[in-house]
A and B are shown apart, each in its own frame.
Chain A
C-alpha cells in the first residue's frame, strides 16, 4: 500500500493529476444537473404563469 501511494517517487505528480481528474468529472456532473434543474424550474414557472393568464 505504501509502495502504491509512493508511485515510484512520482507521487507528487501522479496524485495531483488524479485529484484534478476527479474534480473535473465531479464538476461536469454537478454542473450539467444544475443547468437542467434550473431550466426545468424556470420552464415550470413559465407554464404556471401561462396557465393562470389563460384562465
Chain B
C-alpha cells in the first residue's frame, strides 16, 4: 500500500520534475569519475593484449557503448509497455527520452567495432549476424524517433511508437545470442560467460568501470531529457507557473 502511494507521488509530474532535478548530479558526477578512470585504465594502465596488441583498447568504448545501446532499448521498450498498459505519461516520456541516447550509443558501438574490425578481421564491415542485428537496432531507434515526429498529437505519437518499440524488442536477445547461434566473425562473450570473465583484473576492472560509468551517464541524461518531456507534456498545468527561476 505504502509502495503505491510512493509510486503515485513519484509518477506525478511536479514531484518527478523536482526529484529528477535533484538526482542529476548524483548520477552525473560518479559517471564522469568512472568513465575517466575506466578510459584511463584502459588506455594507459591495462597491458596490451597478447593477440590483439594495443588495438584491443577500443574495447573500453566498444563494449560499454554496445551494452548501453541494448540496456537503453530494454528501458525504452519496458517503459513504452508500461505507458501503453497503465497509461502513465511519465513512462512514455522516459521511452521518448531514451531513444536519441540509445541511437547515439548504437552508432558508437558500430563505429568503434568497425575501427576494431579493420585491423583484426581485415574489413571495416561484414554482414555478420552480430553486426547486422546491431545495425537493425540503430535503425529501430531511428524509426522510433521518425514515427514519433510524424504525429502532431503527443498521445498518439506515444501509443504508436510504443508498439514499434515493443515489436523491435525481439531484436535484443537476437543481438545478445547472435555470437552463439550463428557462426560469427565477432568474438564470443568475454565478460558475461560461463566460468567467469576471460580477462585479467587489470584489463577487466577498467572495462567494468567504463560500463558502469556509461550506465550512470544514461541515468543522468534520462533525468535531464525526461524533465524536458514533462514540461512539453504538462501544457496547462498550474505548477509550471510556479517554476519561476528553478
If the complex has contacts A8-B48, A17-B58, are A25 and B228 also in contact, measured as CB distance less than 8 A? no
Contact in complex: B104, A33 (CB < 8 Å): no
A22 and B152 alpha carbons, distance in the complex (Å): 34
A14–B137 Cα distance when bound, in Å, is: 24
Contacts of B15 in A (CB 8 A): none
CB distance from A45 to the nearest CB of B (A): 11
Which residues of the other chain, A, contact B217 by a CB distance below 8 angstroms?
Answer: 25, 28
Chain B 213-239: CB-based contact to A (< 8 A → 1; otherwise 0): 000010001001101110110111000
Please judge, given known A-B contacts A21-B61, A24-B105, whether A43 and B231 are in contact too, CB under 8 Å. yes
Instruction: Name which of B83-91, B108-116, B178-186 contacts chain A.
Output: B108-116
Nearest B-chain residue to A7, judged by Cβ: B54
Chain B residues in 8 Å Cβ range of A33 = 224
- Nearest residue (CB) in B for A20 is B111
B192 at the interface (CB under 8 A from A): no
Closest Cβ of chain B to A38, distance in Å, is 7
A10 to B55 Cα, complex, angstroms? 6
Are A8 and B54 within 8 A (Cβ)? yes
- Shortest beta-carbon distance from A22 to chain B in Å: 9
Interface size on A, residues (CB 8 A): 32
Which residues of chain B are near A7, meaning CB under 8 Å? 54-55, 57
Does B241 have its Cβ within 8 Å of any Cβ on chain A?
Answer: yes
The verdict on B135 contacting chain A, using a C-beta distance below 8 Å, is no
Asked if B104 and A47 make an inter-chain contact with CB atoms under 8 angstroms apart, the answer reads no
Given the known interface contacts A10-B119, A44-B243, the answer about A21 and B231 at a Cβ–Cβ threshold of 8 Å is: no
- Say whether B115 contacts A13, CB under 8 Å: yes
B156-180 vs A, CB cutoff 8 Å, 1 = contact: the mask equals 0000000000000000000000000
| Known interface pairs A9-B53, A50-B236; 6 further A-B residue pairs with C-beta atoms within 8 A, sorted by A's residue number | A13-B119, A14-B55, A18-B39, A28-B217, A36-B225, A46-B240
B residues with CB within 8 A of A: 35, 39, 43-44, 48, 53-55, 57-58, 61-62, 65, 100-101, 104-105, 107-108, 111-112, 115-116, 118-119, 217, 221, 224-225, 227-229, 231-232, 234-236, 240-241, 243
The 3 closest A-B pairs by CB, nearest first: A8-B54, A39-B228, A39-B231
